[in-house]
């Protein structure tokens, strides 16, 4: 776990290790609030948000906007580098349990855009019912 931080050349601190641990143990993408719920430590709000920003910029995690506008965070599985994420997988949001998971193995299909439009990236969020809630 600490190795991830060392690899990315950022200082190893308790807060960072803790947030990394929580993220790594989570099966779904989680919010700032969930991180606070899951920790026994006293984590400062600003530090948590800054840590998440750092992780995202370093390509350790990526963020997904939830249905209600708040940001969810999830580990990057593929090779993501500084500011260069490779996360073109589909996200699934369950309408029952209201969790969002990364479907790392489901790629976003390419679409035919009208003339003149050029794609850099895309996000596909599928809403429905997850296996657990079925």
Alpha-carbon distances, residue 84 vs 30, 32, 94, 128 (angstroms): 21, 23, 28, 30
Q: Least distance to a second copy from the beta carbon of 18, Å?
A: 25
Rg (CA), the chain: 16
Q: Least distance to DNA from the beta carbon of 17, Å?
A: 9
Residue-wise burial string across 106-119, b where 16 or more C-beta atoms lie within 10 A, e elsewhere: eeeeeeeeeeeeee
> Does residue 133 belong to the site contacting Zn ion (CB under 5 A)?
yes
Of 40 and 111, which CB lies nearer to a second copy in the complex structure? 111
| β-bridge partners, 72 | 64
Which residues from 94-113 bind Zn ion, rule CB under 5 A?
94, 96-97
Using the rule CB under 7 A, which residue among 37, 44, 67, 95 binds DNA?
A: 44
Of 33 and 122, which CB lies nearer to a second copy in the complex structure? 122
The stretch among 29-37, 80-88, 98-106, 125-133 that binds DNA (CB under 7 A) is: 29-37
Instruction: Count the residues in the chain.
Output: 134
Residues 6+ away with beta carbon under 8 Å from 69: none
Give me the residues that bind DNA (CB under 7 A), please. 5-6, 10-16, 31-33, 42-47, 49-51, 53-54, 69-71
């Amino acid at each position: 776990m600490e190795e991830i931080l060392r690899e990315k050349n950022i200082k190893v601190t308790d807060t960072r290790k803790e947030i990394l641990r929580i993220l790594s143990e989570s099966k779904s993408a989680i919010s700032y609030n969930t991180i606070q719920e899951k920790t026994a430590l006293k984590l400062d709000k600003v530090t948590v948000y800054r840590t998440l920003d750092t992780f995202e910029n370093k390509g350790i995690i990526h963020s997904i906007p939830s249905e209600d506008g708040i940001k969810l965070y999830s580990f990057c599985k593929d090779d993501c580098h500084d500011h260069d994420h490779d996360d073109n997988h589909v996200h699934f949001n369950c309408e029952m349990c209201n969790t969002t998971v990364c479907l790392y193995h489901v790629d976003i299909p390419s679409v035919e855009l009208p003339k003149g439009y050029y794609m850099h990236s895309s996000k596909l969020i599928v809403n429905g019912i997850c296996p657990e809630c079925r």
